[in-house]
Structure formats: structure tokens, C-alpha cells
A = this chain, B = another copy of it.
Amino acid sequence: MIPRYSRPEMTRIWDPENRFRIWFEIEAHACDALAELGVIPKEAAAEIWAKGQWEVARIDEIERETKHDVIAFLTNLAEYVGPAARFVHQGMTSSDLLDTCLAVQLAQATDILLDDLDRLLKALEKRAFEHKLTPTMGRSHGIHAEPTTFGLKLATHYAAFKRDRERLVAARADIATCAISGAVGTFANIDPRVEAHVAAKMGLGIEPISTQVIPRDRHAMYFSVLGVIASSIENLSIEIRHLQRSEVREAEEYFSPGQKGSSAMPHKRNPVLSENLTGLARIVRAAVTPALENVALWHERDISHSSVERVFGPDATIALDFALNRLVGLIDKLIVYPENMQANLDRYGGLVHSQRVLLALTQAGLSREDSYQAVQRNAMKVWLEGKDFLTELKGDPLVSAKIEARALEECFDLGYHYKHVDDIFRRVFGRA
């Protein structure tokens, strides 16, 4: 991923340094297990831990020759460890190392993503409670529907990211397995107890059956979950972009004092962060289809999945981490304009109360169809002629015959819509 969309916390996981450290740990733990089983001398295992070192530049140098990264690493390691190095990697295949390492890296990446989500949830919860009862227009189809609160809007996204968090926890469990099963996965040259030992030490589960590689349905599931989270980000981003539209202006990304919205038009304040998040969501989702295509490897394994994972393993997690962090900051500092929310609510003269008038008419004995026509008839005058809804209703003989003025006015009460906000908050946050 390009530096512009990368945070060092996440890129570090995909750096050679981290990869080689994980490789070393896997090999050294495996040696411990092999020593315990009497396959190699215990002193050798101890020596590997004691002397084990490596240097990225040197490994690169060797790899340019051997064109095999695992062999290059083992060669460099041997330069430090000395004769005991021949006990390293006994009965293992490169995939045992590579796939288990990928599992560790994805688990580490997921821990960062889970932390990102936690901070996002916290930010959303804070702002949701802050605006629990801030009246705002609820819109379906982009059209004014009925009143809601800004807190409810945020609570909706909180609930979505909460679900995403659960999905990611499940995806982490799915992906975090250790396979050290040797060529085609039969354990012919390595005892399953080595795998069990390394798994425990590296914080991974045991892959029940591997075929030299860890089955790729796990990775397909993992990247699909990243794709769903990306879509949740897109959803919230688009909400903010809508709220910041010049005609709406109910909320706005923080705009720092010296900031320039446009080089040509000094008046601009653009929701560029949210727009960027929309694009980043597409980038993260781009990993889903290749991950699904990676599942069907030939026989016990082919290596077609490898390049895809070398690219999208880092790219998808880095971009998602960056996006989540950008979103946390955006929500934290989001400027909210309650007065504009109220102004928009009032914009079409109470039209948003049409359902309540409809229900009142039916309760007053009018058929649903007649009630609908009466309300719609007056509503259209508001849309098309800019009339005031309440005035029109009062002046409509059919309506006024059924509902008296004061009762009509009561239909225009905003509080009516908010009586269950606390109930909903309790469902979402466990408190109101």
C-alpha cells in the first residue's frame, strides 16, 4: 500500500523484519519440540535460540542468488548459528513456515484492526449520547420522511461496527491456525506434536488437516469480512458526505484554520476525508474476489495464491487500518449543526407529520384510502406551491370535520417521535 494510506503500526507487521522474526520463532520453537522428542539434540535447540540472528540485507543478497526466500533466510541464520543450524527446519517444508507466519501476521494485523474498531465504537458512542435527542430529519430515498435524532443515526452505525467487530473476531479465529505437517501434509517426516507445540507458543490453533498449505477458504472468509467492514465504512462516509452537502449542512468534517478546500475556489469546505474513505472502501473490497478465487488450488497445493496474498495481505489490512483511524478522527471532531438540522426539519412546513395525521383521520373513522387522499392532497400543495401544511389541513373541510384544530396541532409534536429513543439506546449500548 502506498505510504499515503499507511500507518506505521500496521506496515510494521508486513515488514521483512517482523516476518523474519516470526520465521525464527517458528523454527526455534519447532527445534524445542524436536529436541523434546529426541529428534535433535537439546543443546542444538538451545544454541539456536541463543545465537539465532539474521540481517534483512544479507538475506536479500542470498535470495538474489537462490531465488528462494526461505532458503535465503535459513542460510543467513546458519551463518550466525553455526553447525547447530543443520537441525533447523528438519522435516518441515517452506509452506509450514510461510503459512504459519501468514497466520501470525494476519492475527497481529487483526489485533490492530480490533483496536481500531474499539476506538471507533467509543467515538461513535460518545457522539451518539451527545446527540441522543438532537432532532434531525429522517430521510428515506433522500426525501424527508419522519423525524429522528442525530444520536440514533450514530447508534445505527455503532451497531453495524459492533457486528463487524464480532465478525472480525470470528475471522481471526478462522485464520489463526498453525500447520507444520510437511510435504503434502502427511506428517511423514515430522511428528504432529511439533505442530502442537509451535501452535501453542505462537498463540495459534492447530490446523486439523493441511495439505502442505493451510486451506484457503479461511483466507477467503477473512478478506470477505474485511470487505464487509469496508462497506460499513462506506456507509457512514456517505452519510457524512450527504450531511455536509451545501444544501443540507447538518454536519461537517473538521476544517482546520489554515486549511484550503480548493486551490481555485477559496470558499470551499469539502468532505474530502469521507470521500477518501469511500475510495478506500473500494480498495479494501478489491481483495475479496481474488481471495475467493484463491480457494481452488490444484490437488494438495499450487502457488497461485501466493502473489495475491503478498499484495493483498498487506494492502487490505493497511488500507482498512488507515481508513478506520481516519474515521475515528473524523467522528471525534465532526462538527454538528443542530440549528441546521432543525431548520431542515422545519423546511417543508410540517410535512413530516403526514403519517400521524393519516392515522388520526383513520382513527376518527375515515377509511384509510380517503384519509390517504386527503393528506396527500394537502401535502402536494406544500411540495408544489410552498404552502404551510398545518394551515392547509386546517382549511380542508374533510379534515377539519374529523379532527379539530388543537388535535391537529398535536399531530405536529416532535416529542411524539422520540418516546422510544431510550429503549433503542438501551438495546444498542446497554444503557440510555
User: What are 18 A-B interface contacts by the 8 Å CB criterion?
Assistant: A141-B302, A146-B265, A163-B174, A183-B355, A187-B420, A188-B417, A227-B288, A228-B295, A234-B295, A246-B344, A266-B354, A269-B383, A275-B303, A279-B303, A279-B308, A280-B307, A288-B289, A311-B319
A52 in the interface (beta carbon within 8 A): no
Contact A228/B224 with A86-B362, A298-B142, A423-B192 known, Cβ cut-off 8 Å:
yes
Identify whether the interface residues of A are mostly helix, strand, loop, or mixed: helix
Min Cβ gap A37→B in Å is: 14
Surface stretch bound by B, among A26-34, A42-50, A109-117, A256-264? A256-264
Contact status B215-A220, CB under 8 Å = no
- Chain B residues near A241 (CB, 8 Å)? 141-142, 298, 302
Contact with B along A279-298 (1 / 0, CB 8 A): 11111011111101111111
A421 in the interface (beta carbon within 8 A): yes
Q: Which of A129-176 contact B (CB under 8 A)?
A: 137-148, 152, 155-156, 159-160, 163-164, 167, 170, 174
- Chain B residues near A68 (CB, 8 Å)? 260, 263
Q: Please report the C-alpha to C-alpha distance between residue A298 and residue B225 in the assembled complex, in whole angstroms.
A: 22
Contact status B416-A272, CB under 8 Å = no
Contact status A297-B139, CB under 8 Å = no
Contact status B299-A242, CB under 8 Å = yes
Contact status A247-B248, CB under 8 Å = yes
How many copies, total? 4
Contact status A139-B288, CB under 8 Å = no
A403 in the interface (beta carbon within 8 A): no
Contact status A146-B188, CB under 8 Å = yes
Q: Which of A179-238 contact B (CB under 8 A)?
A: 182-189, 192, 206, 208-209, 211-212, 215, 217-218, 220-221, 224-225, 227-228, 230-232, 234-235, 237-238
A427 in the interface (beta carbon within 8 A): yes
A62 in the interface (beta carbon within 8 A): no
The 6 closest A-B pairs by CB, nearest first: A138-B184, A279-B307, A267-B379, A141-B270, A231-B295, A224-B224
A333 in the interface (beta carbon within 8 A): no
Of A90, A183, A282, A368, most buried by chain B (CB within 10 Å of CB) is A183
Q: Please report the C-alpha to C-alpha distance between residue A85 and residue B315 in the assembled complex, in whole angstroms.
A: 39
Contact status B141-A227, CB under 8 Å = no
Instruction: Pick the residue among B1, B156, B355 that contacts A265 (CB under 8 A).
Output: B355
Contact status B269-A294, CB under 8 Å = no
* Chain B residue at minimum C-beta to C-beta distance from A1: B311
- Chain B residues near A215 (CB, 8 Å)? 156, 159-160
Contact status B292-A228, CB under 8 Å = yes
Of A145, A278, A375, most buried by chain B (CB within 10 Å of CB) is A145
* Chain B residue at minimum C-beta to C-beta distance from A283: B311
Contact status B209-A152, CB under 8 Å = yes
Min Cβ gap A366→B in Å is: 10
Q: Which of A335-365 contact B (CB under 8 A)?
A: 344, 347-348, 351-352, 354-356, 358-359, 362
Contact status B418-A186, CB under 8 Å = yes
Contact status A302-B140, CB under 8 Å = yes
- Chain B residues near A389 (CB, 8 Å)? 267
Surface stretch bound by B, among A17-25, A91-99, A100-108, A119-127? A91-99
* Chain B residue at minimum C-beta to C-beta distance from A211: B156
Q: Please report the C-alpha to C-alpha distance between residue A382 and residue B375 in the assembled complex, in whole angstroms.
A: 38
Q: Please report the C-alpha to C-alpha distance between residue A302 and residue B148 in the assembled complex, in whole angstroms.
A: 16
Contact status A354-B304, CB under 8 Å = no
9 further contact pairs, Cβ within 8 A, besides A234-B296, A246-B347, A282-B289: A91-B359, A138-B212, A142-B298, A189-B355, A224-B225, A227-B292, A272-B303, A279-B294, A286-B289
